[in-house]
Amino acid sequence: MMLARTEEDLLNTRGHLIRAAVSIALVGAAGCSAATAGSGVPGPAATVPASPSASASGPAPKGQSTGRYLVFYAEGKREAALKAVQDAGGELDGGDERLGYLIARIGDPERVGADPSVVGVTPDRPIGMASSALAARRAPAPAPAGHRPGVLPSGGQGPVKPEPLAHLQWDMEMIGATATGSYAKARGKRSVLVGVIDTGIDATHPDIAPNFNKELSRSFLPAGVSSAADGHRGKDCGRTGCAEYAGVDGEGHGTHVASTIGSPINGLGIAGVAPDVSLVDLRAGTDEGLFFLKPTMDALAYAADVGIDVVNMSFFVDPWQFNCTDNPEDSPAERLDQRGIIEGMRRAVDYARRHGVTLITAIGNTGIDLGRPERDGMSPNYPKGAAKVRRIDNSCITVPTELDGVISVTAVGPSGNKAGYSDYGLEQADIAAPGGDLFDTASPIVGVRRGILAAAPESVLRAARRIDDKGNPRDASVVRDCRGGTCAYYRYLEGTSMAAPHVTGVAAIIIGRFGVPGKGGLTMDPAEVERLLYASAMPKACPAAGGSGSGGRADQVCEGGKRKNGFFGHGIVNADRAAVISR
């Protein structure tokens, strides 16, 4: 589930995660087919070929081999797990030895899960792709070669002019990503590969195209389906991904995230935190904004294999907001499902980190202390109508937010106060960044401009009727900038989804400064990137008397000191300081 918020959410259901990310004014992923031949991208090693099959939306009835599952086995127990599948009447349908799981058609997942060799059994849920309305836009136009006129050479330093809409980017001013700040010192490099696991990136957007890396971009959604409800029909993109539909974003969330990270300095619209990096589309989110386990794991493993330097993850893995390994209020099959999600993502995260990928995620938008959760009323969020209210405790975790090795980002509004919707926690919060906050009355900024402005696909805005037939925005939530016959669109969003890419951009600046030649371009130890992120952040203490979030959220209590606390982690990320920090 994507972690951005709508105006309706703000006004009516403040504090709860939403199911889809749209603009503050209620502005409304594509799939894939066979990978491009001869791409030169290395394929996965030690994988088991998988054949297409029907997908399960939940545990299959006992005795009916209609469900497709991911069966995670303990280290060295593959053969024992395979025997457990076969003994239960199941059929092997693939797998991945590096992440330690089988893909199998199983009629009795509980029987398989009871075997001591098995640590989790998770349905391989249906995955969506571009709707039929987007069919004509599946193959994006080629991105322009290099930077647009007026852009300094990649990795260069020196004075630059502010972008035309820079005056609307309070977020960049807050973190020092300005013409007189980090842009004049370090802006990342073309050899820094930034992966965006999201709903896609609009590669044709004029303020993204110059930095879009078409060669490495992939979709990890199976081909031939139009929505999550349709199920699998066609090629499973698997660990190598499908290239054909990369560069398309039918929802807009991923485009906004990518723009905040790396929109170029080109005399049009805005600039991102690291305007000279390469943006790689790692599509794993459905049209509905759902992120299921297998495509998310596939995207992370692919990022590791091809040398991606840093990955942004502004979502949690569906369908469980909180994953509990042994909650008595869940059925045995549900417990197996959640164990599989935790274990599968833990293995994918570990694999990526071992291969030099720095991992950054949005912490979440429920406005709660993740160290003291008590209730989950929105899980499972798929299929529709399956959610139930259940009691939970701190043994239950959000994924990937609470996994070791992942940098979790809280959100602040334009005043620098923690946004009331942002989750927090002394253990869970690592760093803070601008995410926007419509209720931040401590700021002189008013209205929708309290959100984060970044790129929006024109097609999404037209479909949602946020622009008229002549291309004019219908309200203040959408901004258009036209220069030299080229027009580009931008929209305001808020959420921890918007905070995380600011940190990802600063990580890219650090890698551009200190990375060494490696697979894909540069490489740098994720632990060292993390250390410099925290060292260059601006420390921020808890509000007085323990403090509360914005918007009168007195129920939110900040714990910890100035150097590390539950609202701001190690402080608010700072691009200008990262551009000059020494190791």
Which pLDDT tens digit goes with each residue over 72-95? 999 999 999 999 999 999 999 999
Residue intervals of the chain classified under CATH 3.30.70.80 are: 56-123
How far is the C-alpha of 124 from the C-alpha of 319, rounded, in Å?
A: 11
Q: Which residues lie below 8 Å from residue 550, measured CB to CB, with a gap of 6+? A: 413, 415, 417, 418, 419, 420, 437, 439, 440, 441, 442
pLDDT above 50 (res 22): no
CATH superfamily of 7-28+128-366+378-578: Peptidase S8/S53 domain (3.40.50.200)
Which of 469, 447, 460 lies closest to 489, judged by CA?
460
Report which secondary-structure segment, H or E, holds 429: none
Q: What is the pLDDT of residues 331-373, one digit of tens each?
A: 999 999 999 999 999 999 999 999 999 999 999 999 999 999 9
Residue intervals of the chain classified under CATH 3.40.50.200 are: 7-28+128-366+378-578
CB 379 within 8 A of CB 329: no
How far is the C-alpha of 161 from the C-alpha of 147, rounded, in Å?
A: 15
Residue 547: predicted pLDDT: 56
Q: What CATH number is given for 56-123 in this structure? A: 3.30.70.80
CB 228 within 8 A of CB 127: yes
The residues carrying an active-site annotation are 198, 253, 497
Residue 527: predicted pLDDT: 98
If you average pLDDT over residues 103-114, what whole number do you get? 95
How far is the C-alpha of 457 from the C-alpha of 141, rounded, in Å?
A: 14
CB 362 within 8 A of CB 496: yes
Residue 222: predicted pLDDT: 79
Q: Does residue 66 or residue 234 have the better pLDDT? A: 234
